[in-house]
């Protein structure tokens, strides 16, 4: 027997890099791959503009504040970068396309290599790339203001970048873990509902005490300002500020604390990645390990007015969704956004009132529009979660029109539920939306949903991509549908805003309702036309559908 | 007079760019036959079975199942066939029971019948022990059994199976074989591809061999044996003919496709 060849970590990492490159090059062989590449260029251009524009802004503002003797303002920018970095990947899941590194575990990959590969994949995420650019923008601004600080600022910001990168990965991996099983998912759901309900108490309290609460709130903010300094964004800012004076020991201790935070986060991430490395099974089975023999008859769901196959697909879609924690999480993002905006409002008491506090009536339509945006993850890749199951659809005697109709019914049902939840959330957090605005928003949804469903049905067949709803990110998302969906959303939002503006200008929101209902009639006709073409399209695209959705 | 074939293809062809994966295949499978479709890796077996079940469009040619043109009457045909394709076509995030129930209703069974047959099939396949387990957590063998159960829940007249015994243990294989033989006894037609020639030899009454996209042999095992014996002298390693014994299917297969084993010395580094 020959001795096993020693495995070099560098050669493995080079092989992984080579693999990514080959996948990219091979992907260009097909027309769809080329279109995908073109979409990536466009998306990269948009994100690149955001990264470079933001970096320029950060550089300019850092320079101005340092030059005018207000270096402590750096903390504000670093907090902004921090919040963006951690929130953006959740808000823009369609554009996160990090592949699943756990596929590499079949090879003799050491744990440290696995950890590094996972971090490297995470660093390529648009949110991380943009955050890194902005952070480096601050280095540029600081350097222009105080050239001698270049190396120190660079060192601090690199530590800040590493911290953010680790934190984002850790949050994703732990949330994925908690959402993977029913029990922990339910606990998270209950916590979220409790947070929502707590606003029911906060809003009347702040309203009741009115101006009397303001001094207290200001005092609270005054206390919070030094406290933020012990958290990583504050520490990074402090390390740079102390470097200006220069206070070597405080500066070093701030950087050391920042590094300590990073180590702590790295340990949290290490716990998750080690479990993955050892081959954990994140599934529902642990939560439901019943061994009793099941001979109970359980007839499937009935959907009044629809055929049995439509009801069967509808039931299957709902069951899938209920077992897909990460997907559920993205669907409740509109409510999370409302909560975040409310938090923002409370923390910025010294500045002008934020948008929704100024115009609470708009909170409901904005949340509803955001609900549609989040739903595009499902709508624009209808068959992505079915994976090899798409072969079952092709082999079964059911028309694709019925299958797609059932999927759209599911998505419509989710949207309706989200609209109701958003309405309740707005009522709890801000105030009850008026009847006119509620009806106009519903009319807006009736207009926007069929357009999205129609375009989504087309793209689901032209550009299908297998996805695992049980995973948070870590999948190669298709940029083409994401880009087209963004274009559709821009067009729809543009039309919606114009209609609302016109109604506002004329002083009657019922005009908006009327116009949106007219548009809804047109969009529903468009949807029906596409739905009637689905069978022919499914037949035409069956090779692509089966090949793309069945490949591992 | 021979009965009308259950499966019939004329000039069935499939191209993938420049590659001719299936080249003018003419198949005839009669009612009640247990038909084995063999071929080396990449010969075109899976491509053919995908075309026969409507999962892949032929580039040319015609397919008739139960006397109906597949392209023109796809829904009517699919109502009467069952399929276990290469990727098994399962929905991973359903339980076994939910999946079978779903499959039954998709094949037109009413809710109660689908529920009853789900229970029967889970019991028969010995999958009823963990009712809350998701399909994605099933072992490979369990998934194969479940895919098979979904393919027969509507009592199809024709069953297409792509590698049904791959990754299945002896006990599960026994269960599946018993079910398939029961179906044949009740008049169903089964078309299966497999690499396990012993299983094909034991189960199938008729066999076709595809090689490099072309159908190179078709008929009953006896007909194939006679054809091979008449055409070629005994090759190395198959001394059966010279000893007067009957040729095994493996020997027939190897002679038909001209298979030759490489010398192990070529991989001497294997140790």
| DSSP secondary structure of B160-190 | EEESTTTT--HHHHHHHHHHHHHHHHTT-EE
Confidence of residue A538 (pLDDT cuts 50, 70, 90): very high
**Residue of chain A with shortest Cα separation from B110:** A308
pLDDT at A262 over 60: yes
Share of chain A above pLDDT 90, in %: 30
Cβ atoms of A160 and A78 within 8 Å: the answer is yes
pLDDT at B2 over 70: no
Mean pLDDT for the stretch of residues A349-374: 70
CA distance to A136, A249, A255, A317, per residue, from A69 (Å): 21, 21, 22, 59
Best interface-test mutation with A: which of B19, B54, B71, B93 has the largest number of A CBs within 10 A?
B93
Query: Residue A400: what pLDDT?
Result: 93
- What's the rounded Cα separation, in Å, for the pair A22 and B241? 50
Please indicate whether, in this complex, the C-beta atoms of B131 and A290 are within 8 angstroms of each other.
yes
- What's the rounded Cα separation, in Å, for the pair B47 and A112? 42
Tokens of B9: 């293809």
- Smallest Cβ distance to A299: which of B53, B112, B132? B112
Query: Residue A172: what pLDDT?
Result: 81
Tokens of A230: 């012990």
**Residue of chain B with shortest Cα separation from A390:** B89
Query: Residue A350: what pLDDT?
Result: 44
CA distance to A77, A446, A463, B175, per residue, from A418 (Å): 33, 14, 27, 47
Cβ atoms of A429 and A338 within 8 Å: the answer is yes
Residues of A in contact with B88 (CB under 8 A): 388
- Identify the burial level of A492 via C-beta atoms within 10 angstroms of its C-beta, where 0-12 means exposed, 13-18 middle and 19 or more buried: buried
Q: pLDDT, tens digit, for every residue of A400-415?
A: 999 999 999 999 999 9
Cβ atoms of B48 and B210 within 8 Å: the answer is yes
**Residue of chain A with shortest Cα separation from B130:** A291
Which single residue is written with the structure tokens 């299936």? Answer: B22
Taking alpha carbons only, the member of B33, B17, B39, B34 closest to residue B25 is B39
Best interface-test mutation with A: which of B18, B63, B106, B151 has the largest number of A CBs within 10 A?
B106
ipTM score for this prediction:
0.82
Taking alpha carbons only, the member of B27, B25, B48 closest to residue B193 is B48
Strand pairing class (B189-193; B158-162): parallel
Which single residue is written with the structure tokens 């506090």? Answer: A357
User: Which range in A83-87, A115-119, A173-177, B148-152 is most confidently predicted, on average pLDDT?
Assistant: B148-152
**Residue of chain A with shortest Cα separation from B132:** A288
Query: Residue A93: what pLDDT?
Result: 59
Note the Cα A137 to chain centre separation in Å.
Answer: 24
- Give the DSSP H/E element, type plus range, for residue A321: helix A308-322
Residues of B in contact with A309 (CB under 8 A): 105-106, 108
- Smallest Cβ distance to B136: which of A283, A294, A315? A283
- What's the rounded Cα separation, in Å, for the pair A254 and A174? 27
- The chain-wide mean pLDDT, for chain A, equals 81
Query: Residue A159: what pLDDT?
Result: 95
Share of chain A above pLDDT 70, in %: 79
């Amino acid at each position: 027997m020959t001795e096993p060849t020693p495995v070099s970590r560098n050669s493995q990492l080079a092989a992984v890099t080579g693999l990514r490159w080959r996948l990219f090059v091979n992907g260009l062989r097909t027309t769809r791959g080329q279109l995908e590449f073109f979409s990536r260029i466009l998306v990269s251009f948009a994100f690149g503009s955001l990264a470079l524009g933001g970096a320029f802004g950060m550089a300019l503002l850092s320079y101005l504040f340092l030059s005018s003797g207000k270096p402590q303002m750096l903390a504000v920018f670093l907090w902004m970068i921090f919040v963006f970095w951690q929130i953006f990947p959740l808000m823009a899941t369609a554009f996160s396309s990090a592949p699943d590194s756990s596929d590499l575990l079949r090879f003799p990959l050491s744990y440290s290599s696995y950890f590094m590969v996972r971090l490297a994949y995470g660093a390529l995420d648009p949110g991380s790339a943009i955050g890194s650019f902005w952070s480096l923008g601050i280095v540029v601004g600081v350097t222009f203001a105080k050239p001698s600080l270049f190396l120190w600022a660079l060192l601090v910001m690199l530590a800040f970048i590493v911290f953010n990168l680790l934190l984002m990965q850790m949050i994703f991996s732990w949330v994925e873990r908690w959402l993977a099983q029913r029990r922990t998912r339910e606990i998270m759901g209950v916590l979220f509902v409790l947070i929502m309900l707590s606003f029911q108490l906060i809003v009347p309290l702040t309203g009741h005490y009115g101006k009397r609460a303001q001094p207290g709130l200001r005092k609270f903010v005054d206390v919070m300002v030094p406290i933020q300094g012990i958290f990583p964004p504050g520490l990074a800012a402090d390390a740079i500020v102390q470097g200006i004076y220069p206070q070597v020991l405080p500066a070093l201790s701030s950087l050391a604390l920042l590094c300590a935070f990073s180590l702590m986060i790295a340990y949290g991430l290490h716990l998750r990645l080690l479990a993955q490395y050892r081959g954990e099974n994140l599934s529902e089975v642990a939560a439901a390990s019943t061994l009793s023999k099941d001979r109970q008859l359980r007839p499937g769901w009935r959907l009044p007015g629809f055929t049995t196959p439509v009801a069967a697909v509808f039931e299957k879609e709902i069951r899938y969704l209920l077992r897909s924690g990460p997907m559920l999480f993205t669907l409740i993002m509109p409510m999370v956004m409302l909560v975040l905006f409310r938090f923002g409002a409370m923390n910025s008491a010294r500045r002008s009132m934020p948008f929704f506090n100024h115009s609470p009536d708009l909170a409901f339509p904005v949340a509803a529009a955001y609900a549609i945006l989040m739903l595009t993850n499902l709508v624009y890749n209808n068959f992505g979660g079915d994976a090899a199951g798409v072969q079952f659809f092709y082999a079964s005697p059911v028309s694709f029109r019925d299958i797609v109709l059932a999927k759209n019914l599911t998505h419509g049902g989710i949207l309706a539920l989200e609209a109701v939840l958003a309405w309740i959330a707005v009522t709890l957090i801000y105030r009850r939306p008026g009847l006119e605005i509620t009806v106009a928003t519903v009319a807006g949804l009736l207009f926007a949903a069929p357009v999205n469903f129609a375009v989504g049905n087309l793209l689901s067949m032209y550009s299908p991509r297998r996805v695992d709803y049980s995973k948070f990110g870590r999948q190669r998302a298709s940029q083409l549908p994401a880009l087209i969906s963004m274009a559709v959303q821009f067009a729809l939002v543009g039309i919606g805003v114009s209609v609302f503006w016109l109604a506002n200008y004329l002083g009657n929101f019922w005009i908006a309702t009327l116009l949106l209902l007219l548009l809804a009639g047109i969009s529903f006709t468009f949807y029906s036309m596409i739905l009637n073409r689905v069978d022919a399209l499914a037949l035409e695209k069956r090779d692509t559908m089966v090949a793309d959705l069945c490949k591992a | 007079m021979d009965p009308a074939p259950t499966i019939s293809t004329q000039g069935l062809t499939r191209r993938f760019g420049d590659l001719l994966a299936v080249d003018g295949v003419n198949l005839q499978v009669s009612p009640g036959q247990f038909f084995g479709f063999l071929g080396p890796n990449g010969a075109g077996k899976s491509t053919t079975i995908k075309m026969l079940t409507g999962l892949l469009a032929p580039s040319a040619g015609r397919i008739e199942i139960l006397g109906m043109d597949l392209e023109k009457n796809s829904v009517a045909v699919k109502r009467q066939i069952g399929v276990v394709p290469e990727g098994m076509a399962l929905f991973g995030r359903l339980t076994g029971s939910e999946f079978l129930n779903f499959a039954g209703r998709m094949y037109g069974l009413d809710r109660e019948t689908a529920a009853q047959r789900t229970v029967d099939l889970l019991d028969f396949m010995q999958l009823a022990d963990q009712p809350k387990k998701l399909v994605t957590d099933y072992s490979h063998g369990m998934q194969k059994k479940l895919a098979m159960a979904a393919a027969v829940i509507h009592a199809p007249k024709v069953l297409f199976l792509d590698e049904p015994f791959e990754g299945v243990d002896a006990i599960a294989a026994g269960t599946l074989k018993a079910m398939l033989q029961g179906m044949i006894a009740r008049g169903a037609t089964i078309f299966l591809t497999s690499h396990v020639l012993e299983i094909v030899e034991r189960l199938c009454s008729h066999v076709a061999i595809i090689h490099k996209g072309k159908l190179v042999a078709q008929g009953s095992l006896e007909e194939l044996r006679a054809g091979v014996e008449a055409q070629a002298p005994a090759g190395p390693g198959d001394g059966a003919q010279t000893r007067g014994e009957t040729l095994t299917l493996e020997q027939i297969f190897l002679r038909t496709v001209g298979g030759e084993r490489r010398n192990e010395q070529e991989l001497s580094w294997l140790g």
